[in-house]
Amino acid sequence: MNSFLYTKSNLNSEAPIVFIGDSQILSGIHPQELEIKIGRPIWFLPRPSEQPEGMLLRWKEYERKIKIKPSLVVVNGSVFSIADMDVASAHRSLELNYDSFHFEIFTKTIFRNFYLKNISSGLYYLLGRIFPFLRLNASVSTTLKIIGEGDEFSYSEKKIENLLSGNPIEKWRFNLNRNRFLEIEYSKNKGYLDWGKELSYDGVCVPNKNSIPLPPNAEAALNKTRVSSLNAWRELFSYLKSQNVPILALSIPFRPDFEKKFRHLL
């Protein structure tokens, strides 16, 4: 996905504004519309369940591949980005199984401590790049929760039999068509995806009247802070400051019932 977005975006000499963060929380920001209003290129690079460690990795990759100093970097800061809960686990799985290979995950302590729990996980990360099918078994459950439900808490999970049962040819055809649809949408909307919709973006906001109930143990999970996330935030902010790149941190409301119940944590 990274390479796709980098090659599809318009490479011009004008310094862009770069967005990184959680694509579900930032889904209310449409880069193409914002680009027209401010008259400056927008690079919209959020990902599902993104965490500070992933933002730092993503920025390093942006520097290597693009080499265009942005006029501003916009990140979304939320309690999800520092809490020790299943959103962080989902990000770890998505990063190791689906993202580009990052050698820094082995060489930098801040990444190694978060992404690789032991020697076997590091070996699995390497072998998964040589034999891609090894990654399917470890990643399919998290993928169902994040992409299928679109729920930050991964509270309800479809049974894995739902993925594996039925006519495989029909499922492959369906997934192929869906991937083509996503490619068109990402290209047309410059990295934006209208979460929860299976139709092309039409600019119409449809309120979710049947939201998934908040899990009963959410508050306890949100009270647990990940040390690696705080270190990643510090390093990202410090590095951008050293490069004279302005950074703007946004706190965007997630859900009304969540904001009401956990406002004291935000």
CA-wise closest residue to 140 among 174, 97, 170, 197: 97
| The pLDDT of residue 143 | 42
Lay out the sheet containing 42-44: strands in order across.
42-44, 17-20, 72-76, 247-250
Does the structure show a pLDDT above 60 at 182? yes
* β-pair partners for 73: 18, 247
CB 55, CB 99: distance < 8 Å: no
Instruction: Tell me the per-residue pLDDT of 208-256, one tens digit each, with 9 for 90 and over.
Output: 777 777 666 666 767 788 889 999 999 999 999 999 999 999 887 767 7
**149-182: buried (b, 16+ CB within 10 Å) or exposed (e) per residue?**
bbbbbbeeeeeeeeeeeeeeeeeeeeeeeeeeee
Average pLDDT over residues 19-25: 85
Measured CA to CA, the distance from residue 126 to residue 130 in angstroms comes to 7
Does the structure show a pLDDT above 60 at 80? yes
Instruction: Tell me the per-residue pLDDT of 130-164, one tens digit each, with 9 for 90 and over.
Output: 877 666 555 444 443 433 333 333 333 444 555 56
Average pLDDT over residues 28-37: 84
CB 7, CB 43: distance < 8 Å: no
Rounded to the nearest integer, the mean pLDDT of the chain is 77
Average pLDDT over residues 103-110: 92
pTM of this structure: 0.76
| The pLDDT of residue 27 | 73
Listed by start position, the domains of the chain span 2-265
| The pLDDT of residue 192 | 77
Q: How many residues are recorded in the chain?
A: 266
Measured CA to CA, the distance from residue 103 to residue 111 in angstroms comes to 10
For residues 13 and 122, the model is more confident at 122
pLDDT classification of 257: cutoffs 50, 70, 90: confident
